[in-house]
Amino acid sequence: MNMMLDDWIHGAAKAVEITGVCVLIAGALIAAFIFARRHFGKEGFHAAYHGLRADLGRAILLGLELLVIADIIDTVAIEPTLHNLGVLGLIVIIRTLLSFTLELEVSGRWPWQRGLVAPGRHEPVAGHPESREV
């Protein structure tokens, strides 16, 4: 019975991992399509390039979230040894640092500053309760 549960949990972790990889690939393809549409449309190369970087960053963030979920399921549910938990902690720290830097790259501000400045603007959002000079 326990072996059957372990197999099911490992299968669920693999399914989430495959989903994360699919999100990364689909996100890259969609971002490339949108880039081409922007570049050959009215926006031009410079705007299309910055849009591509933002779109790729969002796809990477979502894919990383799913891959970390798969790692957590595999590590905690299947084999929660001290070594595996340490490796998982290191993966989560690296993922968090990547998320912060990608958020800064995509939006131009740190994650805790979200909602304080409107996208594409440099002044506080009028009427926002947490708005302050940036």
Q: What is the mean pLDDT of each run of 10 residues along the chain (134 residues)?
A: 79 94 97 94 88 90 89 79 84 83 75 60 48 42
Q: What is the pLDDT of residue 132?
A: 45
Measure the CA–CA gap between 30 and 2, rounded to whole angstroms: 42
Q: What is the pLDDT of residue 94?
A: 85
Q: What is the pLDDT of residue 29?
A: 97
> What residue segments make up the domains of the chain, in order of their start?
26-110
Measure the CA–CA gap between 10 and 70, rounded to whole angstroms: 9
pTM of the model: 0.69
DSSP class of 113: G
Measure the CA–CA gap between 84 and 73, rounded to whole angstroms: 12
Q: How many residues does the chain have?
A: 134
The residues with which 117 forms a beta bridge, in sequence order, are: 124
Measure the CA–CA gap between 55 and 128, rounded to whole angstroms: 26
Tokens of 1: 């019975």
Q: What is the pLDDT of residue 23?
A: 97
Measure the CA–CA gap between 114 and 10, rounded to whole angstroms: 36
Measure the CA–CA gap between 132 and 79, rounded to whole angstroms: 47
Q: What is the pLDDT of residue 114?
A: 65
